[in-house]
Structure 1
Amino acid sequence: MGRNTRKRRTPLATKIVAGAAALAVGGGGLVWANFYASAHEDHGGHNRTRSAGAQVATIDCPDVGQKIRDVPDRARGEVDGELATMDSQITNAYQRLATTRRAQAGDSQFVQNTILGPLKDRRKAIIDRIQLEINRAGGKADDNLDELAGCQGRPADQQNGDGQNGGGQDGGQNGGGQDQEGDDDNGNGVAGPVADDFVDINDVQPNSRDSRNGLAADGDGGSTGSFTTDCGVNENNLFNSDNLIAAPGVDNGAHHTHDYVGNQDNDAFSSDEDLANADTSCQNQGDKSTYYWPVLRLQDGTQEFDANDQGGGAEGNIGKILKPAEAQIRFVGSRQGDVVAMPKFLRVITGDAKSFTNGDANANTSWSCSGFEDRQVTDKYPLCPDGSQVLRTVNFQSCWDGQNIDSANHRDHMAFVQEDGSCANGFQAVPQLQIRLAYDIPAPTVENGQVQNPYAVDSFPEQLHKPITDHNDFINVMDEDLMNEVVDCINRGEDCQ
C-alpha cells in the first residue's frame, strides 16, 4: 500500500523528535509486550489469577491540553507544540515501561524511580514553558497546571478514576512476581487488543448504549433535511500520522496513522490557504473539507509501508491497514429549528484518542455490525457474524459558539445539543456531521482468553489499542455556495447530495 509522499516542510515552531530510532528494536519496530489485560484469564484449560496491582500495563497522565482555556491566538502554535512534546514524552516513557520488565520484577520501585519520577520532572518543565508562553502573549495562565505534571502506572483492566489526579505514585504496580515479558501479546508483539476488548454482537443488548444528548439530530420537527457528500474511501492512499488540528506544525503529532478523505493536501504543515487550493476526493468539487480518522488494522503479520516508521510499527501500530468498504458522510439538521452555515476552516474533533487513560467524558464512537445497528458499543470491538460488516459510526458536536473556528483545547468552541435538542449558552445550531464507516473484516477467534488475528484501531502507544479511543476529525473547507446549499437543503427538509 502506498503512502503520502508530499514533501514535508520543517516546522518553524518547536520541533518534535519522537524518538522512533529509540523505539525501533531489531529493525522490525518496537516489540510491545502486553500485560495484565484481565485479572482472571484462562490459559491452557486452567485459570491463572493475577493481582490487578502486580505490574503496570500502561502509563496514565493527566491531559494538560484539555485543561487549558485562555491561550491568546499568537501563543497557540507554541502551546500546541509543547503539548505535542508531552505526547512524545509519554510515548518514550511507555516504551521504557514495555522493555524493562525484568528490571521491574527485581525492583519494586523501578517504575517510580526510573520512569514516572523523571517523566514528572520533564512534564513540569514543559508546563512551566506553557505558562510562560501564555503570559507573554497577554493571557493568564492557570497557576494550578503544575498539579498535572505527575503520572501514574496502572493495569490494563483498571477503570479510569483517580489516575487523573496525577499524583505520580507507583501505586504498588511493581511487586515481585515472574518476568512475564512477551506474555499475552496474542503472538503479535503489541500491547493490545486483548480478548476482553471484543464482544459478540449477539451479546449486546439492543438500545443499551447511552446515545448522549448530542447524537441523532434527526426528528420530526426543526430542520429535517440532510446532505450527503461522497468522498470515497481513501483510494489515493493518503496516510500520515500528523494531526493538523491538535498538533499543527508537528511531524507525527498523532503517533498513529490516519485515513484521509476529501482534502488531498492535509498534513501537519498545511495552511488554510493550502487546504483551499488543494484537490479533493469528493465528487462535489466544492467540498474540499478534510475528514480523517485513525486507520483500522488487521494484526495478521502484514508489513505495511509504515512498519518501521513513527506512527506505525515503531509505535506499536502493526498489521494490514483496512480501508472501509464504504464511507458515508452526511450532514443533518436540528430538532429545534433551522441551522446556520459553518464558517470556513471550522475545526472539530469528536471522541478522544486518550479515552482509555482520560476516562470516557469525551468518548463518542459507536461500534456495531450491519444488520445489528440497534446494538451499539463504545468500549468493545464487535464480533460480527459471517456476511455482516463491522461498523464505526460517529455523530459530531453540532452547536457552534458563533465566533471561533477553533479553541485552545480544540473543543470549547463546539458543543453537543442539550437533551431537548437545543444549543445552550448562546451557541448556534450548525449542520451535524455524521460519519458511518463499514468494513469487511473476518471475525477474530477468541479462545482460552486469547484472540487470534484481531483487528484494532491505531492509537497512541499507551492507549493499548482500546476501542474507546476511536475518534474523528473534520475541517470545513466547503466553498460558500456549497455550504449555503447544504444549509438550505437541510432547512427545507430535503435530502440532497
Structure 2
Amino acid sequence: MGRNTRKRRSPLATKVIAGAAALAVGGGGLVWANFYASAHESGPSHNRTRSAGAQVATIQCPDVGQKLRKVPRGARAGVDRELAQLDKQITEAYARLASTRQAQSGDASYVQNAILGPLKSKRTAALDRIGTNIRRVGGNTPQGLGRFAECRGMGVDQPDDGNGNAGNGQDGQNGDGQGEDDGQGQNGGQGQDGGQNQGDNGNGAAGPFAEDFVDINDVQPGSRDLENGFAANGEGGSQGSFTAVCGVNENNLFNSDNLIVAPGVDNGAHHTHDYVGNQDNDAFSSDEDLANAETSCQNQGDRSTYYWPVLRLQDGTQEFDAGDLGGGAEGNVGKILKASEAEIKFVGNQRSDVVAMPKFLRIITGDAKAFTNGVANANSSFSCTGFEDRQVTDKYVLCPEGSQVVRTSNFQSCWDGQNIDSANHRDHVAFVQQDGSCPNGFQAIPQLQVRLVYDVPAPTVENGQVQNPYAVDGFPEQLHKPITDHNDFINVMDENLMNEVVDCINSGEDCQ
C-alpha cells in the first residue's frame, strides 16, 4: 500500500510519539500503558463497572477550531497552522499521559503538574499567536480566547451532551488523579497487572473496549435519531438521485493529512484516510491541483475528493504506516480494511428543488473529536447488512454470520449561498430543519450520502475483554471511540456535471 503525499515523513527517531511507549511484542504499533484495573460487562446494556485503580483515561481540551466563528480570510492560513499545532500538543500530552502511569501512581498531582500544566502553557502561546494572526490583517481577536487554554483529565465512558454536562466516568477534576470513578473509589495506581493487559490488541489504552461494541440484535429498529439528514425525501420535494461510481480506493491512496481542516500541515489529521475520486488530495493540494488531477470516478467530470478515516482490524498486522505518525506511532494499528462497497449518492430535499453546489465547496460531517467535544456534531452511524433499519452512532456493531458492517454518513444539505468554507468549517452549511426545509438564509443543495460496506471478521467479547476488534482511525486521545467517525468532501465537479446532477434530482430521475 502507498500514500499520496508530496512531503517526506519525518524520520521515526524524531517523531513525537516515538518515546511514549514500548513497541508491542508480536502486535502492530505502540502499546499504551493500561489505565484501568478491570472491566466487566453487565448484560445487553453494556454498562461497565470498574474496580478502584482507574486513572484519567485521556485529555479533554476545548476544541478551539469550533469556537472561531469569524476569522478574516487573510488570517486563515496562519490560524489553521496554529490549530494544527494545538492538536499536536494534545497528541504529545496524551502520549505522556499514557507512558507515565507508574509516576502517576506515586504522585496524586503528577498529571496536573507534569502534563496538564505544561500543556496549558503551550496552548496559551498558540492561542496568543492565533490572536496575532487575526490582528495582523486588521481583525479583532475573539474575546476570551485565553479561556480555551486549560484542559482536564477525562474518563473512558461516553462524552458529555455537548452542553458541558459530563458523562459517566469523567472525573471532573483537572487531572489530579483524585476524582471519583463511578463511585468505585479514587483514581490511583496502574491496575492489577501494573502494565498492559493481555489482549490489548497492540495499542493498550487507546481502545476500543468491550463497551464500545453492541450486538446488532440488541439495537432497536428505528432507534437512531434521524434528524440530521437521515430521513427520506418528502413527497413535495426533489425526488431524484445521482450516484457517483468512484471505486473503493483501488489505487491505495492513503495519508494522514486533512486538506480541509489543516491545509499545508503534514499529518494534520493524526490518523489515516481512505481516498476515492480525486487523486491529488494531500495537505498541500491547491484548488488548481484538484481541478487538474486525475479521478477514480467513472464520470471524468467528477474530480471531487471523498475521504474518510480507514477502518482497521487490530490483529497485529504491520501495515505500511506501522511506524508513522498518523499510523502506528499514534495508536492506529492493525490491518487496514478496504470497503467492499462504497456507495456515493446525491439526493434531493424534502421540501424544495436543489441548487448547484459551488465548485470547491468543502463539507465535513461528523466530528473526529466527538468523544472529548461532546456529541453535538456526531453524525455517522454503524449497522449491518440486512439490519439497516437499526443504526447506532456510539457503538461498533457485531453482525451475525453472513452480514457485513455498514458505515453511513449523510452530509449537511443546506448552503449559505456565499461561502465554500467557513472559519470553523461548519457555519457555511447546515442540516435541514425538522420539517425538511433549510434554515433562513440557506438554500437546498444535493445531499451527499456515503455508505461503506466492510467484510469484517466479528470480534469476540468475553469477560469484559474484546479480542481482534475493528475500529476507525482517530486522534490518539479519542480512544478509537465509534462516535468519532466522520466523513469529508470537496466538490470538484465540472459545471456541466453539476448541472446534470441538479437536473436529475429535481426531475425525479435516478442517474449516474
Q: Report the residue type matching 2:202 in the other structure.
A: N
Specify the alignment match of 1:478 in structure 2: 493
The one-letter code sitting in structure 2 at the alignment partner of 1:407 is: S
- 1:317 corresponds, among 332, 340, 343, to 332
> Is residue 2:6 matched to residue 1:7?
yes
Structure 2 counterpart SS, 1:143: coil
- Correspondence for 2:342 among 327, 331, 345: 327
Counterparts of 2:306 and 2:487, CA distance in 1: 8
Partner of 2:200: 186
Q: State whether residues 41 and 49 of structure 1, in contact with CA within 8 Å, keep that contact through their aligned partners in structure 2.
A: no
For each residue in 1:350-375, what CA deviation from the matched residue of structure 2 results, as whole angstroms up to 9, or x when unmatched?
00000000010000011000000111
Distance 1:117 1:163, change over 3 A: farther
Say if 2:349 and 2:446, in contact at 8 Å, map to a contact too.
yes
What is the CA-CA distance between 1:169 and the residue it aligns to?
5.3
Aligned pairs for 1:350-365 (under 5 A) are 350-365=365-380
Secondary structure in structure 2 of the residue aligned to 1:397: coil
Matches within 5 A, 1:194-273: 194-273=209-288
C-alpha separation in 2, matches of 1:72 and 1:290: 26
| Inter-partner Cα distance in structure 2 for 1:229 and 1:266 | 18
- Give the superposition deviation at 1:69: 1.0
Q: CA deviation at 1:188?
A: 2.4
Tell me whether 1:451 sits opposite 2:457 in the alignment.
no
- Aligned mates of 2:233, 2:361 — CA distance in 1: 22
1:297 and 2:312 are equivalent in the alignment: yes
2:56 partner amino acid: V
Q: For residues 442-495 of structure 1, what are the alpha-carbon distances to aligned partners after superposition, in whole Å with 9 as ceiling and x for unaligned?
A: 111111111111000000000000000000000000000000000011000100
Work out whether 1:177 is the aligned partner of 2:189.
yes
Q: Determine helix, strand or coil for the equivalent of 1:274.
A: helix
CA distance in 2, matches of 1:220, 1:440: 35
Contact 1:24 1:314 (8 Å CA) reproduced: no
Q: Deviations over 1:387-426 (max 9, x none)?
A: 1010000100000000000000000000001011111121
Name the amino acid aligned to 1:280. T
User: C-alpha separation between the residues in 2 aligned to 1:83 and 1:205?
Assistant: 39
Report Cα offsets for 1:91-130 as digits up to 9, x if no partner: 0000000011100000000000000011011101111111
Q: Matches of 2:347 and 2:235 in 1, distance apart? A: 12
Q: Measure the CA separation in 1 of the matches of 2:145 and 2:198.
A: 37
Counterparts of 1:41 and 1:479 in 2: how far apart (Å)? 52
Change (3 A) 1:331 1:243: same
Shift of 1:48: 7.6
Q: Distance in 2 between matches of 1:334 and 1:454?
A: 37
CA contact (8 A) 2:37 2:54 kept: no
Task: Please list every run of 5 or more consecutive structure 2 residues that lacks an aligned counterpart in the other structure.
Answer: 43-47, 180-185
Under a length normalisation based on structure 2, what TM-score does the superposition of the two structures give? 0.90
Q: In structure 2, give the amino acid aligned to 1:59.
A: I
Task: Say whether the 8 Å CA contact 1:365–1:468 is kept in structure 2.
Answer: yes
Counterpart residue identity of residue 16, structure 2: G
Alignment correspondent of 2:35 = 35
1:107–1:175 Cα contact (<8 Å) kept: no
Q: With structure 1 as the length reference, what TM-score do the two structures score?
A: 0.93
**Match of residue 88 from structure 1:** 88
Between the two proteins, the alignment pairs up a number of residues equal to 485
Paired with 2:317 and 2:472, the residues of 1 have a C-alpha distance of: 15
Distance across 1 between alignment mates of 2:375 and 2:117: 27
Question: What residue number does 2:182 align with?
Answer: none
Contact 2:383–2:406 (CA<8 Å) still a contact in 1?
Answer: yes
Partner of 1:13: none
Q: Using a 3 Å threshold, how does the CA distance of structure 1 residues 213 and 96 change in structure 2: closer, same or farther? A: closer
Q: Is the 8 A contact 1:347 1:405 kept in 2?
A: yes
Distance (Å, rounded) in 1 between the aligned partners of 2:129 and 2:166? 24
Unaligned 5+ runs, structure 1:
11-16
| Comparing 386-395 and 211-220, the one that deviates more | 211-220
How has the CA–CA distance of structure 1 residues 132 and 105 changed in structure 2, closer, same or farther, with 3 Å as cutoff?
A: same
Distance 1:171 1:448 in 2: 27
Contact 1:241 1:257 in 2 (8 A): yes
C-alpha distance in structure 1 between counterparts of 2:490 and 2:414, whole Å: 15
Given residue 342 of structure 2, which amino acid in structure 1 is its aligned partner? A
Q: Say whether the 8 Å CA contact 1:367–1:390 is kept in structure 2.
A: yes
Aligned-pair Cα RMSD in Å = 2.2
Between the aligned partners of 1:21 and 1:49, the Cα distance in structure 2 is 30
Partner residue of 1:19 out of 16, 28, 53:
16
Partner deviation per Cα, 1:236-273 (whole Å, 9 max, x = no partner):
00000000000000000000000000000000000000
1:155 matched to 2:155: yes
Question: d(CA) in 2 for partners of 1:5 and 1:491?
Answer: 37
Kindly state the Cα deviation for residue 177 of structure 1 after the two structures are TM-superposed: 3.3
The match for 1:50 is 51
Task: Tell whether the 8 Å contact from 1:151 to 1:163 is kept in structure 2 after alignment.
Answer: no
Cα deviation for residue 70 of structure 1 reads 1.1
The answer on 1:337 being equivalent to 2:340 is no
CA contact (8 A) 2:159 2:370 kept: no
- Spell out the pairing of 1:404-419 with structure 2 (5 A cutoff): 404-419=419-434
